Structure 1
Amino acid sequence: MTPGGRTPDGRPRSPHPCAEREGAAPSVAGLLLAAGGGRRLGGRPKALLPYRGRPLVEHAAGVLRAGGCDPVYVVLGAARDRVRRQARLPGCVQVDNPDWAEGMGGSLRAGLRAVAASGAAAVLVLLVDQPGIGAGAVARVRDACHSPAALVAAAYDGRRGHPVLLGADHWSGVADSAQGDAGARAYLRARASRLTLVECADLSDPADIDTPEDLRRLR
């Protein structure tokens, strides 16, 4: 087995060059999950919710870029054609998830398949519906990555949250376990002793937007 582990579809992965050079920071891609249809919001796709005059997906993708993730992958599903017309996502790789209605797990699998071709040593996962998470939290979690074996998550007063960083060694296992809306939750829970928590409560607010009452957070 190479140090890079295997891709989500089982192929051996070559180690990223940055992981081979002594003292070099591993390359970290960004993965934005933005495919949800907003069922509890009356069918309003979260990617298109207005935030500071632009679609929310633009803000979230910009947070990943500003936090040092490159490249940035954006998984689209519900209303993806409208998202492409209305949102400006320069430099982002847009990934279609035709099975978006299945839940976050399907989007995570689609995103990991796409990222596997990038040669990144790790991927940092962010959800589109958490506008209070900023570039500072992304950078802090990203900086805790030292190898493809890394497993890191932001914490808020000690509780695990997003963003979550998955070293390439974990992608296949995460993809295998990602089902429904659970995402990587079961995988992370089973490896709690190996998970590094990075406190980010001083930088970000992890509250998400799930219900009409939550829309106030966009104001």
Structure 2
Amino acid sequence: MSAPVAGLLLAAGSGRRFGGPKALARDGADGEPWVLRALRSLAGCDEVLVVLGAAAVQVRAVLPAGVRSVVNPDHASGMGGSLRVGLAALGSEVQAALVQLVDLPDVTAAVVDRVLAQGGAGPAVLVRAAYRGTPGHPVLLGRDHWAGVVELATGDRGAGPYLARHPARLVECGDLAGGADVDRPG
């Protein structure tokens, strides 16, 4: 049996540039909230935890029954705080966290599945998706890296400072998605 991998969905931002919380953004013919699309991308994980912040009550109301969530009370400080809150809330049995962002609407389960398949699930794993050679999300962080990530995660850079010092193995996913975050409605 493989080590448990948790999907960690960061969905706490207020979306200042976007005009509102991206977790509640809707587009396309179905009008589905981005938080639900992002949750579906994490179907290959053993469990999922959603980090909420801005509009937490409204976002929690659209989550399917049984989806676990935690609130980052300092969500305005940026993605780093949400990453710290999320990692701290994962159970001790979890050996790796696959970190996904809510504002990557074209990143599907196919991307997540490829990262998981290529990365493994042990506590030492450090893998991230790449799009045409450019590192992006999701990022698979083995438990051995969590303390270092938490120590350096500040502002909107999340695990970026840690990954600059400890480069992750890249898994090319440019044939599956563009991997660009959406910062403005459009």
Counterpart residue number, 1:74: 50
Matches of residues 4-15 of structure 1 in structure 2 within 5 Å?
none
For residues 29-79 of structure 1, the C-alpha deviation after alignment (integer angstroms, 9 at most, x for no partner) is: 10000000010022x1111001432211011011101xx112100000001
Post-superposition Cα deviations, 1:138-177, rounded to whole Å, max 9, x if no partner, equal 0111121242100000011111100000001111110111
Is residue 169 of structure 2 the alignment partner of residue 196 of structure 1? yes
The answer for the alignment partner of 2:143 in structure 1 is: 168
1:202 aligned counterpart, secondary structure: coil
Matched, 1:147 2:125: no
1:64 aligns with 2:46: no
Structure 1, residues 170-218: CA drift from partner, whole Å, max 9, x if none?
11110111000010001001012xx211000111221211013xx3xxx
The TM-score, its normalising length taken from structure 2, stands at 0.94
1:102 to 2:77 alignment: yes
117-126 or 31-40, larger mean C-alpha shift: 117-126
SS state of the match for residue 70, structure 2? strand
Aligned residues: 183
Query: 1:21: which partner in 2?
Result: none
Q: Spell out structure 1 runs of 4+ moving beyond 6 A.
A: none
Match for residue 161 of structure 2 among 159, 166, 186: 186
CA-to-aligned-CA distance 1:69-124 (integer Å, 9 cap, x gap): 12100000001111122x13333210110100000000000000011x25111000
Q: Does 1:37 align with 2:23?
A: no
Mapped to 1, the partners of 2:133 and 2:65 lie a distance apart of: 35
Written as runs of structure 1 = structure 2, the 5 A alignment for 1:14-29 is: 24-29=1-6
The answer for unaligned runs of 5 or more in structure 1 is 1-23
Amino acid of the structure 2 residue aligned with 1:111: G
Distance in structure 1 (CA, Å) of the matches to 2:131 and 2:37: 21
Q: How does 1:121-160 map to 2 (within 5 A)?
A: 121-143=95-117, 144-160=119-135
- TM-score normalised according to structure 1 size: 0.80
Amino acid at match of 2:106: G
Report % sequence identity: 54
- Bigger radius of gyration: 1
- RMSD of aligned alpha carbons: 1.2
What's the CA shift for 1:25?
2.5
